[in-house]
Chain A
């Protein structure tokens, strides 16, 4: 066993926390807690970025850490909390699959993700073995969260968490994308949230709820 530098150990630990938070989000039924977990995930991501920035001395990474902090830890969760309060959606109805079942599917997904990440992490520039696998797993778990939820709000949080996974993947494998791209992605996410905010109010006006079942119920009539 070759000794791994302490920074990398810390990074691994943070990566593991990201994965754990993804599972927590998968299991969480309260929308408010879901948003908090998302904010926490953002914070962990930010810490990991900072750590990597400190280690490599790349200014790019400092900027993206700042972006993460501003966008995913502060702005988006506050925006979501405000939306939740204004719209009054606190609980998700029963998910499509019961929680232990979802967890088992999630586990299988993680195994698959690690398999998928093998050739990628062989090529990745950072030394962390499992980071890329964890990134893929976070993406796929977020995807699963989106599939198993009925409330629009939970789906959106899942969507944002997927973005976290993507970001972590880019960061751990290549020390981040070129700055232009990263700024562009951040801008898109922010705009997406604004569009969604408008969208939610429109849905609310029409249906008096944010339950996607109503949307589906309509479909049957057609």
Chain B
């Protein structure tokens, strides 16, 4: 029952919000639906902790430690983003950047997007996972172009075509997986694409076909995760869409894409009994980290700046999963959590900052502490957190990843450290004047509601200091599931 609520609520929300349209209560309804989803996700998590792995609807859906915490995370960020979007979109509407009709689209698609991600996370069927990923792209294309500016249309087109092509490669990978699976599991059963069944027989799958399949799957879902060199849609889509969408794209969609890659990797590595899928993942990860951290230096748009930072962090996560083993997997999962929370918090703050200054250009945003201390400190603390300063959680996960790299792949450590350093300098040098720089603008009378930012940063801070035992238990169970190393 709780599971049906998790998937059903956002779907129902999508329909209801089409009907509600631009009505006054639509933003509130959006929050309420997200709240119910989050509550259901919490109940589901407790349920899973109590009972263990679960399957639903003829095994088409399943919950295990790896995806349950992502479900909870997705529901949480979905909720806080909806809270943030309520005042944010109201101001956008007041500025006449969006029409009521577009607002209807926005709310409805927002819920649909959350629903598709939850389906992608919980489905047991690799084919359905693909369908859900594609649906996630489609539901956000029109959100990226919400403002109808030429730049946003370009971003939307790029997003559509690149992710469309990428995801087509993933479909081919899925087909190949099915071809290999059919030989072992039989074609008559519907079970040939169910992950749990595949996992059980992964040692019998034909290795040559699976290795080709993995290349296609990695390219496909990797495009979605923004791994270099398939990343070029990501900064544009993040920069040109409305800020709440940037926050969920960065905080949630990238996670889901990485999750898909990891699921595939588990199968392929089981079949191949060699480490090259891991090595490929590490290679892509490292390339993304290095490339993105240097790209940060060229950015002049605040949202693009943090979009590149997202690419960098996806690289770190991919690298960590590539290394494999209990510690690296644990660190990668932790990093997924803290990155998702921190990055969405930063986008909330950056969105407000851009709204207050009337521009996304870094040069035009100055002296946020004077104009609005909450936004200023939110952006500053968020940036410090994402740059991996202790005592935030990002520090903990990056530290774990670095030490593991030092032990297993010493050659990668200096590259990672260099990239971290470059990214640190790049982001800090841009955020510092934005927050503390001189400004002639006066302090705004009322401070914006930035509760979500501080809630997120609070959780990240907590995760840096102390990981609750049940969470640590989840992470360990999930890390075991991924294996490798």
Contacts and interface: CB of A to CB of B under 8 A. Distances in A.
A219 interface: yes
Contacts of A159: 161, 164-165, 168
Which 6 A-B pairs rank lowest in CB-CB distance, beginning with the nearest? Answer: A181-B127, A184-B131, A119-B208, A215-B154, A188-B134, A170-B175
Contacts of B193: 177-178, 181
- By size class, the interface of chain A is 35 or more
Interface in B101-151: 125, 127-128, 130-131, 134-135, 138, 141-142, 145, 148-151
Contacts of A116: 212
Contact of A206 (B134, B148, B180): B148
A218 B171 CA distance: 33
A145 B128 CA distance: 28
A119 B164 CA distance: 26
A92 interface: no
A116 B206 CA distance: 15
Contacts of B377: none
A155 B127 contact: no
A131 to B, nearest CB: 12
B131 A181 contact: yes
A184 to B, nearest CB: 3
Given A180-B125, A207-B150, A120 B179 contact: yes
Interface residues of B, number: 43
A97 to B, nearest CB: 18
Contacts of A199: 141-142, 145, 153, 156-157, 160
B223 to A, nearest CB: 13
Contacts of A177: 127, 174-175, 178, 193
Interface in A51-110: none
A174 interface: yes
A123 B206 contact: yes
Interface stretch (A12-20, A26-34, A37-45, A190-198): A190-198
A133 interface: no
Interface string A197-222: 01100110111000010010011001
B153 A215 contact: yes
B138 A188 contact: yes
What does DSSP make chain B's interface, helix, strand, loop or mixed?
Answer: helix
Interface of B: 60, 125, 127-128, 130-131, 134-135, 138, 141-142, 145, 148-151, 153-154, 156-157, 160-161, 164-165, 168, 171-172, 174-176, 178-180, 182-183, 187, 190, 192-193, 206, 208-209, 212
Contact of B168 (A124, A139, A181, A203): A139
Contacts of B60: 180
Contacts of B212: 116, 119-120
Given A174-B187, A199-B153, A202-B156, 6 more contacts: A174-B175, A174-B179, A174-B182, A180-B125, A184-B130, A212-B157
13 contacts: A139-B172, A159-B165, A162-B165, A169-B172, A177-B127, A178-B190, A178-B193, A180-B190, A184-B131, A192-B134, A199-B145, A199-B153, A207-B150
Contacts of A178: 125, 127, 178, 190, 192-193
